Structure 1
């Protein structure tokens, strides 16, 4: 019979080993080299590989059986200690799911002997409600067909949810961080869903044990021969695309407006930190004041962030909002001067300020023509940037804190870095005071404005766009998050929206009856908020703005007229959850 290519390869390798007198290697090679396998063996191998490949490969890069023994013993000791300290603790319920998933990981990794040893070692730990299930899974062995895989999948699903209180979750988190056990952390993160008691509507827990009233061991091991039905919706692709387009074109959702009022004479500006935990205000008596939520003095030593727990940006902001205890417009927050930190250094009115992204430093500018950098650790002035020869009206910092820029009454804007006390670039060309400044999101462009809005190339220092149309000084400019649009407004009571790529005017919006002091885009650029001296806040839909066929204020989404006790609105700011914050000076 004609020999296959594999047989030729085997013969060549065996002849080479024999010629070199590698007798041990020859015997091992003969033992491991299989020229054929049965249909059952091939099916088992393919199913196992397919099952393992669906999960993270780290989960199956498992160590020795002793590692699993040690991990479970540490977890068991920790749970027993917590239960002894707190009688109402439900941590005991995590033991059986971890036990089951550890056994299945060993089994699917083709380590049936070790999985059996693991099962016999800890199977006696659990009570009678789990013994029957443990006795039945002893006979699973290596899965040989799809039925066994159905059984394993049902075991994982039935042991994938536990109920723990907040105290139990915190204790478990601390335990996992201190132990640094990768296999245990992977099982809990990937296989087990932890819920709070009030959200548990599927399982009945008795004395903290992981038992379900509607699931028996016999039912767990009964493989379903029919595939699970998938819910389908009778909708065409064209209909789905139309729905998506309608959602995109619909007006963005705006939840509420939060007004924060500062009581004090001579308030000029107010700036929040990026995490909304600190506020900075500048006054005409050359004083800079720091406000903490709850009127508490800023901590000199800021805590190190916990990098072991990652939150979405909106989750972290929601937590900040809860701590700030700020409601909607009906519950206006007023911050008085009790417990406020004052910073002294400037010799004239403080016009603008900004925080670094990590809240370690803040930058202020004033009429004394200086820019100062303050250290939030000890609240001292560390650096003085002195290059302008007239009052400095505005300051802005770029993404990642690469640069900061200032605009001055000397008709120039200057580019700085915190590492040097002299400017990196000087942008000259304006015919009047530079009263507004803003960085593009990519840090490569800078917008400045007097009565004309100019966009500069940060690296070359050359203007790349010149946008004319305002007939009065511009007080504020803002780039959209995607960098495609630039908004400007000021003493002519009008908001102009520009296309950055072409420099053309997209839309002029009129609603304010007095000077506009602040503009802000939301996180996706679909909303633009404005506020000013008329004590009104307007919110515009910029997602569908076009230059033709628009009626007056057609794209106005919302507007607020604020109480008479509000003297002036000086800043407006969006958060990533589309919540709008406005800062005002109170009479």
Structure 2
């Protein structure tokens, strides 16, 4: 890669080939193809369950993987060796989950006497093995037996309650210094004991076990236990998200060396049994030397589906500093002098640039060529110069000097709003609705205009100072513009930094790029196979990120129709994404109640942050780049130090779900917004 990267130097971030995504065959839909949206959604759980647990880290602690494969050009048709081996293995023998799905379909066709369709499917797939008639759920029983066979146990089912009760009593009798640490094993042991009882056919004992010991678990696990209570037979074990979470990874428990030794002594004295087996096989202990944590310290970082974040992954060095700003001071002085020439005011000493500190060599800042960044256009430089001038005039905010607030109300909305977004300069408002509309509203006196026709543009003097104004058609001026294209609710909108483009994402699984000059759709990005919950433009434009129901976050570029990076590791939906101010990292918040920070350069997960007890609705980085703030349905605002992945503040004052966070420009204030149903 060259020292001065441009749009063309994107080899390290080449689009991923979607035909192989962590072993799952993907389909790149063409305009001529049609798929029933209802059919896709009805099978969403089954497909997602197969995708979610494809990559687990060492000991199951950090299941994080990003996939990026260089696009093959005609000049370089050779397939990378890593891809070749993967393709060969798939062509030789289809994955087990594809085989089981094929068998299930063939059983359905055979049961309904659809002989012609069955023969056609066999010829197309090359599968001619004899299959048995489906007795229960079109092969789900055999599939469940294979996937969850690790739960098979022929031991005495009556000892489960007794051994778990003994574990509870042991923890209760332990010293306070050990009690809170050791109690972290109660929930994962409880879940796996229940699942073993269910898998081995002891349904009544499993229900009794659940009813007796579920009140002993922490409040923030009760919602998961409610979902677990729906799994009462072996057939139910296939298709539930919570089952995949516990089957696909080990529950991570952070504990001191003394606390771990205390637990080992008990297990040795207990003499085996289901508790010892589950702790050895299903739990991963992150052992450290130091003082045992208090209950409040443990609770503050607990609650994620996979347990606490591993300390090892949070030791990775990251560049949280800001990029070096371009030299714009001369441009600012020239513009200021131009404004002063008219009235000839007295010469004033220019204020020191408040952003000057970011121009110094920051040891925590990434090199400007670490990833390919778009070159600044003249209009971008003018925007940055304007931002610096505004910063010079900005009043420092504090608790004694709070900002003003503007409220906007939507009246006579025919459908419920599903997303709202302001442009960075607060001049434009975009919102999406549940009936697939996207609307752009000007909230300043300036109206929204479209470009003139090509013939009219050819007649414009391109050297005129007001050429940009002349390019716009005054007859098209409106206060509101409406964009149509999505086929379902629009869940997210995002403006480009120069306010000429708009990204939207929705239930139809697509991301659309709109021009705010021609008011047309430029590109439809089809990579996610399920609803896309969030989309965000990078602060420098060009790149954007998305999060979806398919449990992945993805990095895109506006001039590529395929993703550049696929970030896989979350155990549930990726509900929110956010770019770091230096554009080198992407944060993702998930329904698995964890936050992950991804390195754009190599696709690795470099931070895992746990502590939320509910869905994560919003993420925001501080202007300095060191801190990340998150909030969600647990009514709490958490502030994280990205330098080491530690929780530095927990703000508890709200009584409703938090849907919006925003730092002031100087980073002194943090604003949170809750939903109040009035």
**Which one has the largest radius of gyration?**
1
User: So what's the TM-score if we normalise by structure 1?
Assistant: 0.43
Of Structure 1 and Structure 2, the greater strand share is in 1
User: So what's the TM-score if we normalise by structure 2?
Assistant: 0.38
